[in-house]
Amino acid sequence: MTTFSLLGTGLLGAAIGHRLLERGFTLNVWNRNSRRCGSLVEAGAQQVKHPTESLDRASVVLTVLRDGPVTAEVVKSLGPLDGRTVVPMGTMGISESVALADQVQMQGGAYLEAPVLGSRPEALQGDLLVMAGGEQSVFDAQLSWLSTLASQPRLMGPVGTGAAAKLALNQLIASLTHGYSLALRLVEASGLEIERFMEVLRPSALYAPTVDKKLKRMLSHQYGDPNFSTSLLRKDLRLFLREAQLAGVNASALQGLATLLESAEGTDLDSGDYCALHELTAGR
């Protein structure tokens, strides 16, 4: 069985760790906030004080960290990788992932980006959507354990394509949530009952399940206990805008949404579920 160095044990990282432990894999775990390793240690993981200590007997370095710069910093701190494979599963920019792949190669390791769509519930159930980017041989070597996290892990193409798919999907999360929020606001203001509107929307080609998934939160204004926060959505939208600019894509229409999300910074909405952006579309 593969031994993992799991770096980053937040909501998603911890859930991935629990899934791997449940399936019999061995984990060495590290997090800057050591207390966030507690549940994994109780489940059988070995906690370490420094990332380099996590390399003991590990053949795969699995990172689930906040962003690209943090991931690059932590991976660099590992020193020589001696053939180990580094697999970042958090969201990062395309250019950041390509740069990290070069860094890993210089450190003597192999690289496979594997960002995911889904959060804690999907990770615990093995229902994540894994979008890998890298060489076919590296993907094939990691497929057995990736298949415990996702029913059908996909190799999108070379390094950068997995990151591109993830950013594109997270942009859709932001845009869809914003669009539905605006629709609900106007419907509500007109005096039309939301459920009457939903009866028309659900059978139409415009419907996406995410609206019903978030509708109760949006109408009750309850955004606690999030699996994906407003602050992370804003971060990822900023990343999308930066990568779009680098790719020559005109994404200027998204600037207004990015500005809207920035108004949540420093408020309670920032730590709430990302559909808290519904509060930002309320009339003043």
pLDDT bin (cut points 50, 70, 90) of residue 1 is confident
Task: Point out the domain boundary residue: 158, 175, 194.
Answer: 158
Mark whether 169 and 146 lie in a shared domain.
no
pLDDT tens-digit series, residues 45-55: 999 999 999 99
Q: Please, which residues have CB within 8 angstroms of residue 108's CB and are 6 or more apart in sequence?
A: 80, 81, 82, 83
pLDDT at 278 over 90: yes
Mark whether 132 and 218 lie in a shared domain.
no
Task: Point out the domain boundary residue: 158, 188, 210.
Answer: 158
Alpha helices in 191-229 (DSSP H): 194-201, 209-220
Q: What is the CATH number of the domain that holds 38?
A: 3.40.50.720
Dihedral sign (CA 121, 127, 128, 129): negative
Domain count, the chain: 2
Mark whether 150 and 250 lie in a shared domain.
no
* Mean of pLDDT values over 89-98: 96
- The C-alpha atoms of residue 171 and residue 240 are separated, in whole angstroms, by 7
- The C-alpha atoms of residue 36 and residue 134 are separated, in whole angstroms, by 30
Mark whether 136 and 42 lie in a shared domain.
yes
Mark whether 105 and 228 lie in a shared domain.
no
pLDDT tens-digit series, residues 24-44: 999 999 999 999 999 999 999
pLDDT at 106 over 90: yes
Mark whether 14 and 141 lie in a shared domain.
yes
β partners of residue 85: 60, 110
Mark whether 133 and 175 lie in a shared domain.
no
**What pLDDT is recorded for position 181?**
98
pTM of the model: 0.94
pLDDT bin (cut points 50, 70, 90) of residue 283 is confident
Domain that holds residue 201: 164-281
In the chain the beta strands, taken as DSSP E runs, fall at 3-7, 26-30, 46-47, 60-63, 85-88, 110-113, 116-117, 129-134, 154-157
Task: Point out the domain boundary residue: 105, 139, 158.
Answer: 158
* Mean of pLDDT values over 163-178: 98
Round to the nearest angstrom and report the end-to-end CA distance of the chain.
58
pLDDT bin (cut points 50, 70, 90) of residue 284 is low
pLDDT tens-digit series, residues 173-216: 999 999 999 999 999 999 999 999 999 999 999 999 999 999 99
pLDDT tens-digit series, residues 239-255: 999 999 999 999 999 99
Mark whether 137 and 29 lie in a shared domain.
yes
Mark whether 181 and 266 lie in a shared domain.
yes
Write out the two tokens for 90.
């958090």
Mark whether 150 and 33 lie in a shared domain.
yes
- Percent of the chain residues topping a pLDDT of 90: 98
Write out the two tokens for 2.
């593969």
pLDDT bin (cut points 50, 70, 90) of residue 279 is very high
Q: What is the CATH number of the domain that holds 193?
A: 1.10.1040.10
**What pLDDT is recorded for position 160?**
98
Mark whether 99 and 202 lie in a shared domain.
no
Mark whether 221 and 134 lie in a shared domain.
no
